[in-house]
């Protein structure tokens, strides 16, 4: 699933809506080092648009998104 990508943290947001998902992701990433990779698992279809936009605004890099039916896996590299 992870395409041989080294993941430092996994955050399973489940069905959490984007507002709460973004806040929890923000708090989780604050504890991470620059360059670390987090895998975010989300069932919310709105995250497909919201997470890439949030990454751009926060200067993180969305490395990949993999979809398995209604579940999406996001791989985000923490920026500065």
Q: Which of 18, 38, 47, 76 is catalytic?
A: 18
CA distance 59 to 57: 6
Other residues' Cβ atoms within 10 Å of the Cβ of residue 33: 7
Of the candidates 62, 61, 74, 77, which has an alpha carbon nearest to the alpha carbon of residue 21? 74
Annotated active-site residue 55? The verdict is no
List active site positions: 18
């Amino acid at each position: 699933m992870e395409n041989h990508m080294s993941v430092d943290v996994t955050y399973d947001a489940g069905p959490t809506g984007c507002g709460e998902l973004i806040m929890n992701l923000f708090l989780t990433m604050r504890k991470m080092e620059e360059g670390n990779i987090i895998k975010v698992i989300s069932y919310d279809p709105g995250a497909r648009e919201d997470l890439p936009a949030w990454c751009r605004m926060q200067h993180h890099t969305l490395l990949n998104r993999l979809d398995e039916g209604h579940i999406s896996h996001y791989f985000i590299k923490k920026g500065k």
